[in-house]
Amino acid sequence: MLALPSQLHLIMNRREMKRIALIEDNYYFSKNLEHLLVLNNYTIDIYRTMQRAEVLMLDHKPDLIICDINLPDGIGNSIIQKIRKNKFYHFTPIIVLTGTIDVNINELFDLGVSKVFFKPTRFEILNSAITRLLTRKNGYEITDFFYKPFHKIFDILKLK
């Protein structure tokens, strides 16, 4: 095997197992959702508070963030703003999963949220949205981070 650059290694991992960050403080729901997502081949990190998310997400950069906007240490849009401020997550798609109906959806979209779902949402609908968002992201990522020659290498190595 050729010596692969370390970045490529990570990409390989990513392409197989997408990482989803779930920022939600309700225990049971978050556990269930994790289970459902794992069954669909995603890696999940659960963060119960904004503080924890801010710090720990840096170590495990997610491909997608599912976020509730009613956290113990943060209210509403400020959570999204915090995420978006960080350059690290600039391109990470965010799905907002919320229990309050009094959300200003337009504001959320302006802040860069990709989709807003109201609890309870059927999992299959949520899942299809996740898939759609990640496929798109995939496309962006390749063109952003790689030169074209590497496409050929991937084809050669027959990586999915």
Partner 1 sequence: MELVKCDHAAHIIESLKYGILSEDIDRKIISANSEFINILNIPLKRENLIGLDCTLLADQVKYLYKNQNYFLNFINSCIENKKTINAEFELTNNRFVDITYIPYIHENQFLGHNWCFNDVTEETKNKKALKEKDSFYKNILNFIPADIAVFDADHKYLFINEYAIKDNNLREWLIGKTDFDYCNYRNINNDLAIFRKEQFNIAKTKKAAHSWEDRKINNEGETEVILRVLNPFLNESNNVEMVIGYGLDITKSKSNELHILREATKNKILLDNLKQTIFELTSDGKTISLNPAWLKLSGKTIKTSLDIDFVQFILEEEKQNIFIEYLTNSSKKELNLKFTLPTELINKVIKGFFSKTFDENNNVNSIWGTLIDETEKDNYQNNLINLVKKEQELNELKTRFVHMVSHEVRTPLAGILSSIELLEILNTTIPKKLKDNNYRHFSRIKSQILRISDLMNNVLLLGKIESGNFKANIEETDIIDKINTLLNENFNFDSESKIKFIYTGNPYFVLLDWKLIYHVIVNLLSNSIKYTKSSKKPEIHANFETKDFKLSIKDYGIGIPEKEIQNLFNPFSRASNVENISGTGLGLILVKSLVELNNGKIDIISKENVGSTFTITFNNE
Binding site for partner 1 (CB under 8 A): 26, 28-29, 32-33, 35-36, 39, 70, 97, 99-102, 105, 118-123
Under 8 Å between Cβ of 24 and 30 = yes
Smallest distance, partner 1 to C-beta of residue 70, A:
6
Residue 33 vs 83, nearer CB to partner 1: 33
Give least dist CB 140 to partner 1, A.
23
| Least gap, CB of 37 to partner 1 (angstroms) | 10
Residue 146: CB atoms within 10 A of its CB come to: 15
Q: What is the DSSP string of 101-151?
A: S---HHHHHHTT--EEEESS--HHHHHHHHHHHHHHHHHHHHHHH--THHH
Q: Minimum distance between the CB of residue 159 and partner 1, rounded to whole angstroms?
A: 29
Of 85 and 132, the one with the shorter C-beta distance to partner 1 is 132
Task: Identify whether the C-beta of residue 98 lies closer than 8 Å to the C-beta of residue 107.
Answer: no
User: In this complex, which beta carbon is closest to partner 1, that of residue 122 or of residue 152?
Assistant: 122
